[in-house]
């Protein structure tokens, strides 16, 4: 009965609506992100193998991020070693690092730093496994998600919409596949990323209808991005779900259904 009373509160239903919207947003983004991750991985390896005249099937599974020597070298500035790529505490500034025996991982390391959109370059080395870089696209993509909680995620499908949005904002390769200028302050993708924090960090678990509707409208706008996303079938399906959930009567019926099933299971 306590749950039923909660469902009677309009602002609570609006809060739930926004939360459901985040789930649908993730559904619309996941396959797109997986596809771009695969394409990026293919392009990285093709570029490295071509540039260094390596066999087309060469891979590496022996390097560790902590001990890997990047391909780029440090420079001297006022007698101190500094990273020419602008990274703070880069491995290029420390002795004892080990070059990749297959001439791949050091180049991938450089690529990740060079394609980090957030200044200064700050890849999330803690959640990636360099042993998988040459064979697993998502192990590279995770380096661009500068947030905790994604260590065990193996694909876009296992990653929530927050992680996917951060990836798309921080990974410059994705920028050429979306129309939105995510570098611009207060861009749409960053705004929707912030909505997640607003929703799940709400102590009252309440939202005004106008605010919830604004959140939903912007989630739809992300999925309708005019470069490639709007053509994706998963994105189109997610847009329809977001449009449906914005209808309060349908949402209320859904919540009542969930409450009845919850009571049956207790």
Q: Is the pLDDT of residue 179 over 60?
A: yes
How far apart CA 199 and CA 101 sit, in angstroms, is 47
Lowest-confidence segment of 101-110, 212-221, 239-248 by average pLDDT: 239-248
Q: pLDDT grade, residue 233 (50/70/90)?
A: very high
Total Cβ atoms within 10 A of residue 219: 25
How far apart CA 236 and CA 125 sit, in angstroms, is 34
Whole-number pLDDT of residue 264: 39
Q: pLDDT grade, residue 32 (50/70/90)?
A: very high
Q: Model-level pTM greater than 0.85?
A: yes
Whole-number pLDDT of residue 248: 56
Whole-number pLDDT of residue 28: 98
Strand 75-77 relative to strand 80-82: parallel, antiparallel, unpaired? antiparallel
Q: Mean pLDDT score of the chain, rounded to an integer?
A: 90
Q: pLDDT grade, residue 1 (50/70/90)?
A: very low
Q: Which two tokens stand for residue 208?
A: 């005004």
Q: pLDDT grade, residue 27 (50/70/90)?
A: very high
Q: How many CA atoms lie within 13 A of 87 on its CB side?
A: 26
Per-domain boundaries in the chain: 2-265
Q: Is the pLDDT of residue 157 over 70?
A: yes
Whole-number pLDDT of residue 262: 42
């Amino acid at each position: 009965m306590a749950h039923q009373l909660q469902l009677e509160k309009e602002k609570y239903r609006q809060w739930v609506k926004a939360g459901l919207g985040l789930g649908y947003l993730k559904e619309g983004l996941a396959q797109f992100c997986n596809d771009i991750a695969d394409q990026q991985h293919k392009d990285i390896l093709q570029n490295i193998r071509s540039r260094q005249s390596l066999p087309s099937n060469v891979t590496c599974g022996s390097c560790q991020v902590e001990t890997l020597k990047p391909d780029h070298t440090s420079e001297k500035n006022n007698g101190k070693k500094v990273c020419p790529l602008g990274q703070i505490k880069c491995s290029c500034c420390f002795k004892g690092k080990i070059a990749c025996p297959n001439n791949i991982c050091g180049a991938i390391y450089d690529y990740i730093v060079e394609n980090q959109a957030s200044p200064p370059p700050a890849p999330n080395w803690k959640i990636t496994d360099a042993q998988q870089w040459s064979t697993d696209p998502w192990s590279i993509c995770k380096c661009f998600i500068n947030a905790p909680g994604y260590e065990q995620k193996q694909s876009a499908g296992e990653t929530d919409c927050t992680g996917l949005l951060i990836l798309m904002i921080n990974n410059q390769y994705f920028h050429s596949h979306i129309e939105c200028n995510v570098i611009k302050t207060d861009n749409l993708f960053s705004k929707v990323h912030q909505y997640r924090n607003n929703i799940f960090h709400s102590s009252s678990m309440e939202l005004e209808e106008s605010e919830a509707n604004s959140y939903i409208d912007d989630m739809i706008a992300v999925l309708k991005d005019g470069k490639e996303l709007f053509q994706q079938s998963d994105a189109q399906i997610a847009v329809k779900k977001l449009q449906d959930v914005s209808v309060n009567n349908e949402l209320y019926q859904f919540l009542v259904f969930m409450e009845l099933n919850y009571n049956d299971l207790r």
